[in-house]
Amino acid sequence: MAAPQDVHVRICNQEIVKFDLEVKALIQDIRDCSGPLSELTELNTKVKEKFQQLRCRIQELEQSAREQDKESDKQLLLQEVENHKKQMLSNQTSWRKANLTCKIAIDNLEKAELMQGGDLLRQRKTTKESLAQTSSTITESLMGISRMMSQQVQQSEEAMQTLVSSSRTLLDANEEFKSMSGTIQLGRKLITKYNRRELTDKLLIFLALALFLATVLYIVKKRLFPFL
């Protein structure tokens, strides 16, 4: 039957091997970690806990080695303790290197994201400039259309004024023709009244014709030479 002391030594060795393997697995996880930083912090916390447990078991094994009755068993266990300590130091070195590698990877990733963010900002800036230019072009086009419409409205107003002026001229001519018609009728009456008096009739006819011609000349003058 194994002594209780030997059982304790065997349990310590088993737990030391277990914690050592767990530490190595966590260190590998740190090497493979690409962020975020919170994940790296969580992994480091777990590694510290395992190192603490491993250190306690090594100390327990060292204490058991010093309590051995046989010097040969004592030296053998102390040698195992020394090997475990060396392995733990090696793990700590690997841990630091893994942290350095992981932090470099996270930094590079953050730089890449910042660069991508800068590209996005430049793209947004280019898009805004393009939209501003397009808006300016549309505004200029609308202003050009507005000017054209304004010119057309002005031309329409001028045409309307011309039509109104022409209508007034026609109305004035109609009135003048009515006046001339009345004059001719008056002349006819005079000719009929003094038809028996030849000399008087001739004078009256002459006067009527003269009045008629004067009226016609006046109308022609007004139509052809309005500025005189």
Looking up residue 28, the CATH number of its domain turns out to be 1.20.58.400
Q: Which pLDDT score is estimated for 205? A: 78
**What count of other Cβ atoms lies within 10 Å of the Cβ of residue 114?**
10
Classify 149 as helix, strand or coil.
helix
51-59: average pLDDT: 95
207-223: average pLDDT: 83
Among the listed residues 5, 1, 2, the one whose alpha carbon sits nearest the alpha carbon of residue 69: 5
Structural domain includes residue 202: no
Between the alpha carbon of residue 33 and those of residues 23, 29, 102, 106, the distances in Å are: 15, 6, 6, 8
Structural domain includes residue 73: yes
Taking all residues of the chain, what is their mean pLDDT, rounded to a whole number?
A: 80
Structural domain includes residue 227: no
- Is there a contact between 22 and 91 (Cβ–Cβ < 8 Å)? no
* 26 has pLDDT over 80: yes
Structural domain includes residue 80: yes
Question: Which helix H or strand E contains 98, and what residues bound it?
Answer: helix 71-193
φ, ψ of residue 192 in degrees (nearest 5) = -65, -40
Listed in sequence order, the residues at least 6 apart from 228 whose beta carbon sits closer than 8 Å to its beta carbon are: 221
Give CA–CA dist 2/123, Å, rounded.
Answer: 76
Q: Which pLDDT score is estimated for 87? A: 96
Question: Domain range holding 104?
Answer: 4-118
pLDDT digits (tens, 9 = 90+) for 116-151: 875 655 665 666 666 667 667 776 766 766 676 667
* 1 has pLDDT over 50: no
Q: Which pLDDT score is estimated for 35? A: 78
Give CA–CA dist 210/85, Å, rounded.
Answer: 149
Q: Which pLDDT score is estimated for 2? A: 45
Structural domain includes residue 63: yes
Position 47: which residue type?
V
Structural domain includes residue 149: no
64-89: average pLDDT: 92
Cα diameter, the chain:
187
Most confidently predicted of 15-19, 144-148, 171-175: 15-19
- Is there a contact between 54 and 116 (Cβ–Cβ < 8 Å)? no
Name the CA radius of gyration of the chain, rounded: 61
Structural domain includes residue 50: yes
Q: How many domains does the chain have?
A: 1
Overall pTM > 0.75: no
Give CA–CA dist 40/101, Å, rounded.
Answer: 11
Classify 68 as helix, strand or coil.
coil
* 102 has pLDDT over 50: yes
Give CA–CA dist 216/213, Å, rounded.
Answer: 5
Structural domain includes residue 175: no
Q: For 148, how many CA atoms within 13 A lie in the half-sphere containing its CB?
A: 6
Percentage of residues of the chain with pLDDT beyond 90: 35
